[in-house]
Amino acid sequence: MLRVDGLSAWYGEAQALREVSMRVDEGEIVTLVGRNGAGKTTLLRCLMGLHGAYGRTAGTISLFDEDITGLAPHARARGGLGYVPDDRGIYATLSVEENLTLAPVRKAGGAAGPEPWSLERVYETFPHLKERRRSPGTTLSGGEQQMLVLARVLRTGARLLLCDEPTEGLSPLFVQRIGEILREVRAAGTTVLLVEQNVHFAATVADRHYLLAEGRIVESLDRDQVREREHQLLEYLGI
Ligand code: ATP
């Protein structure tokens, strides 16, 4: 579904990604694990076409065998990519419902993509958001804000979700709920690439993992390998 070949990225003269090659197959949940500063956010931004504001890139990115390297972010979104940034990007002065209905609902992934989520379906899956639908987005708790951003991107019918640390700073109950939702999302036809520092969560939710260090993919691990090496990975990540 997604294929990255020899992707490099720079901030000015400083190189943040070095010849990254990886793939995500349809129906998978894949995590990118790595220490702070390893390049995880930069990689997601490159995939979404957002790195151009910061510096240059090299390498190729293809989605469904189509080269999307030169496409603008909105064209990538139309092609089926959905992005959940780490700063969440909620509109502060708008209510929860306005945040959910602002973007036009469209079938981002074309005919073969999953159905965009209706408002009813969002409220069924995220009852907290229904209760808070008239409140300004920023009065929500961190967990509720994360739910709002996930729900907003699911309303586009994205085929591949790029999620930047959705569990960061959340209580265990919300972390568990995010895990359930990601599995539900996958069952409904959306593939997920997830940046994650919480190795235990990553091991529970994902099929495969890439370990990123100093801008390079240094290991590719399956679910069992991560479970076996959970303690070693936690130590490596400094958690
Ligand atoms: P974190 O978990 O802390 O977000 P990360 O793995 O996502 O880390 P990136 O944010 O992608 O890492 O950063 C990769 C490298 O690029 C780091 O050395 C970082 O200092 C540098 N970097 C990131 N953003 C910028 C920027 N806007 N300008 C200059 N350098 C940057």
Q: Token pair of 133, please?
A: 């639908």
Residues 19/57, Cβ–Cβ less than 8 Å: no
When mean pLDDT is compared across 9-18, 121-130, 175-184, 218-227, the lowest value belongs to 218-227
* Predicted pLDDT of residue 106: 62
**Averaged over 146-156, what is the pLDDT?**
89
- For residue 215, being part of any structural domain is answered with yes
Q: Which residue has the higher pLDDT, 128 or 16?
A: 16
Ligand 1 midpoint to CA 189 (Å): 31
For the chain, the residue count is 239
Name the domain count of the chain.
1
* pLDDT greater than 70 at residue 179: yes
* Predicted pLDDT of residue 112: 67
- For residue 143, being part of any structural domain is answered with no
* pLDDT greater than 80 at residue 155: yes
DSSP state of 113: S
232: which residues sit within 8 A by CB, 6+ positions away? none
- For residue 175, being part of any structural domain is answered with yes
Ligand 1 midpoint to CA 89 (Å): 18
Please choose from 20, 41, 197 the residue to mutate so as to test ligand 1's pocket, defined by most ligand atoms within 8 A of CB: 41
Strand-pair category, 2-11 with 57-63? antiparallel
**ipTM rounded to 2 decimals:** 0.96
Please give the single-letter amino acid code of residue 36.
N
Q: Tell me which residue has its CA closest to atom 20 in ligand 1.
A: 37
Residue-wise pLDDT tens digits, 60-69: 999 999 999 9
- For residue 106, being part of any structural domain is answered with no
- For residue 115, being part of any structural domain is answered with no
Residue-wise pLDDT tens digits, 40-57: 999 999 999 999 989 999
* Predicted pLDDT of residue 68: 95
* Predicted pLDDT of residue 107: 60
- For residue 134, being part of any structural domain is answered with no
CATH code, 193: 3.40.50.300
Residue 215 CA: nearest ligand 1 atom is: 14
